[in-house]
């Protein structure tokens, strides 16, 4: 049995510029961090004693004798991508709900690829894992997704990701003192809005807006350099919160599907109680929200948003890892 642990991610600035529809024309740039909330994937070779050849357990349980009859698109896509014909059992567990804006789909795909490579006795670099995850999601499954989630799930850490017009992806770890990194983490609060959404529906509309409003999307990428200047200097990190507010205002204007009345009310309530800025994670419409506020304001904000689930978190550096390796065990 192989078990992988793959983190979810928190994107701060530049979301939207990581879509091929944008960066292949204009380039792109993202600042994001993986967090200590994880997707766990276990894989094992299925003994030939059953009527089924494949057993997939997630929110549903599938049993079938044909890869092409597997309903879960990522599992079906990955098994075809790796040309796996042996019987396989796959199980998924996650710390947080799916379709919530933290890159859970890419964490699942990266974790599954990592598990199956390990089951076949192969080591894969974190960068190659990221590129394979992008290939599976964008080209095999055919999902309309960006390219940051796969990188963050595979590599982990607090990173500046650069997307070139030639299609190259460069990952630069953000170098800063541990005190400043902890200070930034200590100023962030995360809440679940209570609403999961179909990111593909929102993303389809978002891509249309990305194509029609390139200047607004480019401006979102400009905030990456401003935020890096804050993190790499002696500037007050509180400016990070101000930038989050400005960037969220622009992102919200790109498409009406990004925010809702509920999201707007949550955001304004947090601001009224001490948050300097914040944003909705992911494509929009629901999921998790993150706010930047001085630690002495956190209690007030949590009380004001008491109907929501507050989720404490820390940044992490590991990316996707194999935490159980017993390739010959059942």
- Quick one: tokens of 21? 């529809």
pLDDT digit string (tens) for 109-162? 999 999 999 999 999 999 999 999 999 999 999 998 999 999 999 999 999 999
| Residues 64, 52 contacting (CB under 8 angstroms) | yes
Burial class (CB in 10 A: 0-12, 13-18, 19+), 98: middle
pLDDT recorded at residue 206: 63
Task: Set out the domains of the chain in order of their start, with CATH numbers.
Answer: 2-175+316-325 (3.30.230.10), 178-310 (3.30.70.890)
Check whether 284 has a pLDDT greater than 90: no
Of the candidates 139, 132, 188, 180, the residue with the CA atom closest to the CA atom of residue 314: 188
Check whether 329 has a pLDDT greater than 90: no
pLDDT recorded at residue 198: 58
User: Quick one: pLDDT band at residue 327, thresholds 50, 70, 90?
Assistant: confident
pLDDT digit string (tens) for 47-103? 888 899 999 999 999 999 999 999 999 999 999 999 998 999 999 999 998 888 899
Of 158-172, 177-191, 254-268, least confident by mean pLDDT is: 254-268
**Hey, which residues does 44 pair with through a beta bridge?**
89
Q: What is the DSSP string of 173-240?
A: EPP--HHHHHHHHHTEEEEE-S----HHHHHHHHHHHHHH-HHHHHHHHHHHHHHHHHHTSSS-THHH
Residue 292 main-chain phi, psi, to 5 deg: -110, 125
| Residues 116, 4 contacting (CB under 8 angstroms) | no
Of the candidates 214, 205, 223, 209, the residue with the CA atom closest to the CA atom of residue 285: 205
Of 32-46, 136-150, 173-187, 192-206, least confident by mean pLDDT is: 192-206
Q: Contacts for 122-130 with beta carbons within 8 Å, 24 or more apart?
A: 126/154, 126/155, 126/156, 126/319, 126/320, 127/154, 127/155, 127/171, 129/154, 129/320, 130/154, 130/155, 130/169, 130/171
Mean pLDDT of the chain: 91
| Residues 301, 27 contacting (CB under 8 angstroms) | no
| Residues 230, 247 contacting (CB under 8 angstroms) | no
Check whether 314 has a pLDDT greater than 50: yes
Check whether 316 has a pLDDT greater than 90: yes
Distance of alpha carbon 288 from the chain centroid: 11
**Neighbour count for residue 315 (Cβ, 10 Å):** 18
Check whether 188 has a pLDDT greater than 60: yes
pLDDT recorded at residue 207: 67
pLDDT digit string (tens) for 218-260? 777 789 999 999 998 877 788 999 999 999 998 887 777 788 8
pLDDT recorded at residue 330: 46
């Amino acid at each position: 049995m192989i078990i992988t642990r793959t983190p979810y991610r928190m994107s701060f600035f530049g979301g939207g510029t990581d879509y091929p529809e944008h960066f292949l024309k204009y380039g792109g740039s993202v600042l994001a961090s993986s967090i200590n909330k994880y997707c766990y994937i276990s894989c094992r070779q299925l003994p030939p004693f059953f009527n089924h050849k494949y057993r997939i357990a997630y929110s549903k349980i599938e049993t079938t004798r044909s890869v092409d009859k597997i309903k879960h698109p990522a599992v079906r896509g990955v098994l075809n991508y790796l040309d796996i014909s042996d019987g396989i059992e796959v199980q998924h567990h996650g710390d947080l709900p799916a379709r919530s804006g933290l890159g859970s789909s890419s964490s699942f795909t990266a974790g599954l690829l990592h598990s199956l490579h390990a089951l076949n006795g192969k080591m894969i670099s974190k960068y190659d894992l990221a590129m394979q995850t992008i290939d599976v999601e964008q080209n095999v499954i055919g999902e309309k997704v960006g390219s940051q989630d796969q990188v963050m799930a595979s590599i982990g850490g607090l990173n500046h990701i650069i997307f070139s017009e030639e299609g190259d992806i460069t990952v630069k770890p953000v170098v800063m003192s541990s005190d400043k990194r902890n200070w930034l983490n200590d100023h962030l609060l995360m809440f679940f809005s209570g609403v999961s959404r179909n990111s593909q529906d929102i993303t389809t509309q978002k891509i249309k807006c990305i194509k029609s409003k390139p200047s607004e999307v480019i401006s979102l990428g400009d905030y990456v350099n401003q935020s890096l200047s804050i993190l790499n200097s002696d500037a007050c990190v509180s400016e990070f919160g101000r930038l989050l507010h400005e960037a969220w205002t622009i992102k919200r204007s790109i498409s009406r599907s990004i925010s809702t009345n509920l999201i707007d009310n949550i955001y304004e309530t947090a601001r009224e109680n001490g948050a300097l800025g914040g944003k909705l994670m992911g494509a929009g419409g629901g999921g998790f929200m993150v706010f930047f506020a001085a630690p002495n304001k956190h209690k007030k904000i949590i009380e004001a948003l008491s109907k929501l689930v507050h989720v404490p978190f820390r940044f992490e550096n590991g990316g996707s890892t194999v935490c159980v390796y017993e390739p010959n065990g059942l």
